Amino acid sequence: MSYAKMSKLFVRTLRQDPADAEVPSHRWLVRAGYIRRAAPGVYTWLPLGLRVLARVEAIIREEMEAIGAQEVHFPALLPREPYEQTNRWTEYGPNLFRLKDRKGQDMLLGPTHEEMFTLLVKDLYSSYKDLPVILYQIQTKYRDEARPRAGVLRGREFIMKDSYSFDIDDEGLEVNYVKHRQAYQRIMDRLGLDYVIVKAMSGAMGGSRSEEFLALSDNGEDTFVRSPGGYAANVEAVSVGAVAPGDPTSFPPARTVSTPGAGTIATLVEAVNQSAPRTDRAWEASDTLKNVVFMRVAADGKRSPLIIGLPGDRDVDEKRLEAALSPDQAEPFTDEDFVSFPDLVKGYIGPVSFSGEPTALLGADRPAGVTYLTDPRVVTGTSWVSGANVVDTHVVNLVMGRDFTSDGVIDVAEIRPGDPAPDGSGPLSLARGVEMGHIFQLGRKYAEALGLKVLDAQGKLVTVTMGSYGIGVTRAVAMVAEATCDEKGLAWPRNLAPYDVIIVIAGKDPAMVDAADRLATDLELEGLEVVVDDRAVSPGVKFADAEIIGFPTSVIVGRGLKDGVVEVRDRLSGESSSVPLAEAVGAVLRLGQSDPVEDLA
């Protein structure tokens, strides 16, 4: 291999930010010529980007092989039937790319391959002696995201490493789960990412235990919580601790209060403090029962109102709601919907109707088709101020278990800093991250649906237990860029950079070209990958491009050459030093050795 030349390299840096760039990694990967958008959420990888991607893939492959995983490769174009058998054909809803072939057969573009791996193992294996086995692929996935964003950070076509473990029993699954957890830790370390492992929801995947690897990032879409005592969970997966029920008979009777215009929690608190003041203290938002109504949309399209009752000082957290309802979805309840359900009085919804005699509007005798779920804090023996289902009217002293009940518990209120960790390990703090990996103990869901059984040692057919483990490969490139870039451009860690060194010819003296050529050749002999910037542009343009592209090391062959020196610059630290030409190779190699990420790898 000989070194590359900037004059030939298929790369052009852009002076302007792309119009749709929301986050730094997207901006710089486009501006530095690593990726280009082909369609919304669908990207082309240019030569520089592809080289980084290959390095990330190599790390992941090494760590998967190290835990004994064997690589296979599934198609992206898949038949409907297996996904029908697990119901995911329907449950994936609009996130699934569906198509028909020329014969009218339903097909899909694989969003993840649990079904196919299950069937493959069923095809090849039949005995407990064949297990355990871990299979993986690094493969292109498709999800028709509602809001593709941030370049390759959340795309509709993306590369994922997905692996699957197959075991005869739960102990085996636990072993393979832990193997993956450790492999993912090594991968995240080698990528140089600052990350946290949090308890997660399983979502559409099903299964019991799951954890996410979140890379810390203020631009992340995921919010997670941590406690001083070591609790860590995606905000979607936090369970509010159970509240002990009280005695529902110990409260004064419920009564209506006139609350003209008090259609919000703030105005309600003000109104009841005026017209029905408490003697011990003022009413607070946390004394009110907020009833938020959504239209729940099942995967098969069925729509029905869902009312969520929660303390009035908290809002429903959209992501927690989405996770709790999955695969169903919640849509806003529109004015037309209110017309269709005249029992629900906008702004004054409550669990009991006081329009005439008190009657249970919600709860057991609710209007047909309406579901009423309550926050875990709304337990028997708690007293609330809530809507009376009559305009300008509320009820006080409305007691759960005495005056109303609900159809069940839903734990979707926002989590706030300072809330107690469910395990008693102290107050929670919140931060944001990007989901880089997700490991699941699937259990027997897929094996049961698709009939993956093997003979055990007693000759009895038993259902196999599975794990599934994903890590975003294209997303990892974006996330490393996001974590390392600065105001000048990309700044790759040495083990992931598209090239190790750029040699900038900063002048027109032919001696500079000769020196650059010799230096490049010597560096390549040392195993480094080198680009020489031989373009007929000013040194300033070359320096700026070297910084935008983010080569870890620049060697500038310029005016100093007549005194026998070149300049060696480190992109990450910004440090620069003049070294004699004859010592340049050694200086570059020493920079590489001092890199902590390189050492780790």
Q: Tell me which residues touch its own copies (CB under 8 A).
A: 1, 8-12, 33, 36, 38-39, 42-47, 50, 53, 65, 68, 70-79, 94-95, 97-99, 101-102, 105, 107, 109, 116, 120, 123-125, 133, 135, 140, 142, 144, 146, 156-157
For the chain, the C-alpha Rg in angstroms (whole number) is: 30
Measured between alpha carbons, how far is 274 from 278 in angstroms, rounded to an integer? 10
Residue 115: CB minimum distance to its own copies, A: 10
CA 514: distance to chain centroid?
Answer: 49
In the bound state with its own copies, the residue whose beta carbon lies nearer, of 49 and 311, is 49
CA neighbours closer than 13 Å in the CB half-sphere of residue 131: 29
CA separation for the pair 467, 457 (Å, rounded): 22
| Nearer residue to its own copies within complex by CB, 163 or 405 | 163
Cα separation values, 480 from 95, 256, 497, Å: 26, 58, 10
Q: Which is nearer to its own copies, 9 or 293 (CB)?
A: 9
CB 269 within 8 A of CB 288: yes
Residue 294 to residue 163: CA distance in whole angstroms: 37
* Residues facing 461 on adjacent strands: 455
When the beta carbons of 47 and 417 are compared against its own copies, the nearer one is: 47
Gap between the Cα atoms of 138 and 135, Å rounded: 11
CB closer to its own copies out of 305 and 472: 472
Tell me how far, at minimum, the Cβ of 74 lies from its own copies, in Å: 5
Residues in Cβ contact with 501 at an 8 Å cutoff, skipping those fewer than 6 apart? 523, 528, 529, 530, 531, 551, 552, 553, 554, 555, 588
Q: How far is the CB of 448 from its own copies (least distance, A)?
A: 21
Smaller CB separation from its own copies, 144 or 313: 144
Alpha helices (runs of H) in 194-330, residue ranges in sequence order: 265-275, 318-325
Residue 407 tokens, joined: 């159809």
Q: Supply φ then ψ for residue 290, to 5 degrees.
A: -85, 130
Q: Distance between CA atoms of 533 and 556, rounded to whole angstroms?
A: 10
Nearer to its own copies, 68 or 369 (CB): 68
- Pick the closer one to its own copies by CB: 47 or 230: 47
Q: What does the block give as tokens for 348?
A: 């004054």
Closest approach of its own copies to the CB of residue 43, in Å: 7
Nearer to its own copies, 110 or 493 (CB): 110
CB of 27 to its own copies, least distance (A): 17
Looking up tokens 């840096």 gives 13
From first CA to last CA, the distance across the chain in angstroms is: 24
Locate tokens 């309550």: which residue?
Answer: 374
CB of 141 or CB of 190, closer to its own copies: 141
The CA-based angle 23-24-27, given to 5 degrees, is 90
The phi and psi torsions of 600 (rounded to 5 degrees) equal -60, -40
Output the smallest distance, CB 158 to its own copies, in A: 10
Burial class (CB in 10 A: 0-12, 13-18, 19+), 517: middle
Q: How far is the CB of 585 from its own copies (least distance, A)?
A: 24
- The Cβ of residue 276 has, within 10 Å, a number of other Cβ atoms equal to 17
Instruction: Give the amino acid at 541.
Output: V
Cα separation of 430 and 410, whole Å? 21
**Beta carbon of residue 45, minimum distance to its own copies (angstroms, whole number):** 4
Provide, rounded to whole angstroms, the least separation between the CB of residue 464 and its own copies. 14
Minimum Å distance from CB 527 to its own copies? 17
- Closest separation in Å from C-beta 123 to its own copies: 6
What is the token pair recorded at 60? 């992941």
What size, in residues, is the chain?
601
State in angstroms the smallest separation of the CB of 305 from its own copies: 24
Nearer CB in complex with its own copies: 2/249:
2
Nearer to its own copies, 58 or 582 (CB): 58
Cβ(146)–Cβ(155) below 8 Å: no
Residue with Cβ nearer its own copies (139 or 441): 139
User: For residue 140, what is the enclosing H or E element?
Assistant: strand 133-142
- Which lies closer to its own copies via its Cβ, residue 116 or residue 523? 116
Give the span between the Cα atoms of 469 and 448, in whole angstroms. Answer: 19
Output the smallest distance, CB 53 to its own copies, in A.
Answer: 8
